[in-house]
Amino acid sequence: MLSLMAGAFDNLHVPVERGATWTTDAPFRETAAAVEAMRSRGLLAVEMEAAALYAFATAREKPVLYR
């Protein structure tokens, strides 16, 4: 997937970070220990949509990214 995104943001005038994120459907329900474990890994963000995107792509047998 990373190779498909190579160069996709090169012309933007804002910084784009590349790194790991934590995907969870409800970060507010996570335990303090789980939050601290993710924080200690240096993750860039917590996001809630990737799981839904990948589930939809699997159900529809479609790629998440394509050129």
The string of pLDDT tens digits covering residues 30-39 is 899 998 999 9
Using the structure block, give the residue that is written with the tokens 């047998």.
61
Vertex 37, ends 36 and 39: CA angle to 5°? 60
Its domain, for residue 60, covers: 1-6+21-67
pTM for the predicted model, two decimal places: 0.56
d(CA 2, CA 40): 24
Strand 45-47 to strand 21-23: parallel, antiparallel, or no bridges (unpaired)? parallel
Strand partners, 21: 45
pLDDT band at 67 (very low <50, low <70, confident <90, very high): low
Q: Look at residue 13 and tell me if it is in a domain.
A: no
Q: Look at residue 12 and tell me if it is in a domain.
A: no
Domain count, the chain: 1
